[in-house]
Structure 1
Amino acid sequence: MAVSVLPGAEPYAHDGNDIGVLLVHGYTSTPQSMRGWAEHLAAAGFTVRLPRLPGHGTRWQDMNTTRWQDWYAEVDRAFGELRSRCSQVFVAGMSMGGLLSTKVALEEGPRVAGLILVNPIYLHDDWKLVLLPTLQRVLPSFPGIANDVKMVGGEPELAYDRNPLKAMHSQTQLWAEVRRDLGEITQPVLLMHSRVDHVVPVESSAHFLAHISSTDVTEIWLENSYHVATLDNDAPLIHDESVRFIERVSGSLRAGEG
């Protein structure tokens, strides 16, 4: 039986010029949280893909039947599609989407032209995580982590109100794998992270910056947003800085080819 996708959680695709941008949404979230960003990039002329990760956008119980390998496989499929039609491909993600985007950059190397991250997660300081390997065997879920938004009266995040623990345990395994290889990241990086984030600790981005090997790194603090910054007050800043970064890096790469 076909899985019923929540209205608004559908993937987004736009065919534009030969610069591709892959956007990856966060854990328990949906493409809705990044659709405004995707549409802004499309309006700038880029070819854009924003897939819905397996287990997301239906029922939280469905997430407990998926693992990080399933989420990454969908991201990898979308990246391959962009590579087949674009001369350069940038990868962008928020929260766990940033983690998966970093994994793409590690796996694909120079085939990723640049990496754009919003509040990415690579580690967490919640003491309950120590118990997660055991808890995920006996408890299906915890209360959710969605909709950490500062803006009053804005669009709420379309995401699960529960945190599925088997899926969460799998995500933590990917944290460790990506952290181990961060020194292999050499692509240009645009990192935008919130000064106040109630979901991902500030140490996560600090760890990323301290361990990558990229020489072209732009760090921007988001002063007026919480975790889901793409639906928050700083969304226009994220949109504009992304376009500026992509145009600068893609232009430099083209000049280098010449």
Structure 2
Amino acid sequence: MTPKQSKKKRRIVKILAIAVVGLVVTFVVVDLIYTGIVRKRQAKWEANVDRNSDGVRRGCEAFTVGSGDTALLMVHGFSDSPAVYKLMADELAEKGYTCRAMRLPGFAEPYEAFAKHDRQDWLQAIAEEVTSLRQTHDEVWIVGHSTGASLVTRHVLDHPDTAAGLALLAPLVEVSGKRSPVLSPHAWFKAIGALLMFTDRIETCFELDINSPEGRTVIIREQFVPLTTIEETFAIASEVRDRAPEITVPVYTAVSAADKIVDTEASVRFFEQLGSARKQLVRLDASGHVIPVDYGWQTVCSDIDAFIQASTAVQ
């Protein structure tokens, strides 16, 4: 290499080094600015949130309706609350069930409380609710929506004799890539997360995947979500993804054909691999992701009732 070529090479390396440092500095500055903006917006949002004496956002409390011998434990999903089951719980209570819509620990609580909970806390809370219901009812079925469906699946994997069956609504097996260009959602999350120094929460930016105007008035979701909660959501889906053959209890599953949140075909593959002797899959064409409040929720209630009755009859 001639002195002239060597000098040119050093100049290129120097330029590249400056460019890399510039990119890193820019990313750090943007990260810091974003953190400040989000925390300011969150403080403003929090000032207008009405909470009860326990710090839980009003309208998001756990609730129980109905007084049947069969209990339905209803578990909400990511960035959600028990309010998502208000319509279904009332309908199924009319059909003779005790409907218990639980609140997962941390959800609908102030950010500091929200951020300290993980999937082990959520699973423990589900186990406690199931234990309590089993003491007062002939049998317990568990209904789970989205991440809640992943959690109740994991519960049955860990405690197979505690639930008579499952109803999985838009179960999270894989996150949909419809809103994620080039890389998978988890790949983007991991890549960006590895670079973040200051950001520990995000503001929900996507519109609710609900087609029904009525459904939009029922839902109460989290506006700001800890990054740790997102990671826990990916983790619980990963933990159950390949274990469908181990599930042997009866399973009813409803999926949305146009779901923008979960990968519907991954959910269908999971259903097909279930080890359950009794299982039923329903595809909803008019519903978005939030099946419990979207078009067709009444049909889902009737389906669940018929599925439980048929499953009980063959025991």
> What's the TM-score, normalizing by structure 2?
0.74
Match in the other structure for 2:231: 169
Moved more, 217-226 or 54-63: 54-63
Q: Is the 8 A contact 1:24 1:93 kept in 2?
A: yes
| Distance across 1 between alignment mates of 2:121 and 2:266 | 23
**Contact 1:22 / 1:49 at 8 angstroms: preserved in 2?**
yes
Match of 2:244 in 1: 182
Displacement of 1:14: 3.4
Secondary structure at the aligned position of 2:159 is classed as helix
Match 1:221 to one of 270, 280, 283: 283
Does 2:90 align with 1:33?
no
CA drift at 1:122: 1.6
**Other structure's SS at 1:142 match:** strand
Alpha carbons 2:174, 2:267 under 8 Å: kept? no
Match of 1:8 among 59, 69, 73: 59
3-state SS, counterpart of residue 239 of structure 1: helix
* Paired residues, number: 253
Determine which of 207, 210, 232 is the counterpart of 1:149.
Answer: 210
Q: Is the 8 A contact 2:71 2:98 kept in 1?
A: yes
Structure 1 CA distance, aligned partners of 2:101 and 2:64? 6
- CA distances 1:174-207 after superposition (whole Å, capped 9, x unpaired): 1221124222101111111111111111133123
Q: Is 2:299 the partner of 1:237?
A: yes
Matches within 5 A, 1:84-99: 84-99=135-150
Report sequence identity in percent.
Answer: 25
Relative to structure 1, is the Cα distance of residues 114 and 128 closer, same or farther in structure 2, using a 3 angstrom cutoff? closer
CA shift, 1:129, in A, is 1.4
Deviation at 1:114, TM superposition (A): 1.3
Preserved contact between residue 251 and residue 276 of structure 2 (Cα < 8 Å): yes
Q: For residues 169 and 125 of structure 2, what CA distance do their matches in structure 1 show?
A: 20
Question: Is the 1:22–1:92 contact (alpha carbons within 8 Å) kept by the matching residues of 2?
Answer: yes
Unaligned runs of 5+ in 2: 1-51
Aligned partner of 2:62: which letter? P
Q: Does the 8 Å contact 2:249/2:276 carry over to 1?
A: yes
Tell me how far apart the structure 1 counterparts of residues 65 and 219 of structure 2 sit (CA, whole Å): 22
| Range 234-243 or range 145-154, more displaced | 145-154
| Letter paired with 1:247 | Q
Secondary structure of the 1:193 match is strand
Deviates more, 1:105-114 or 1:123-132: 123-132
Give CA deviations for 1:76-112 in whole Å, capped at 9, x if unaligned: 1111111111221111111011111111221222432
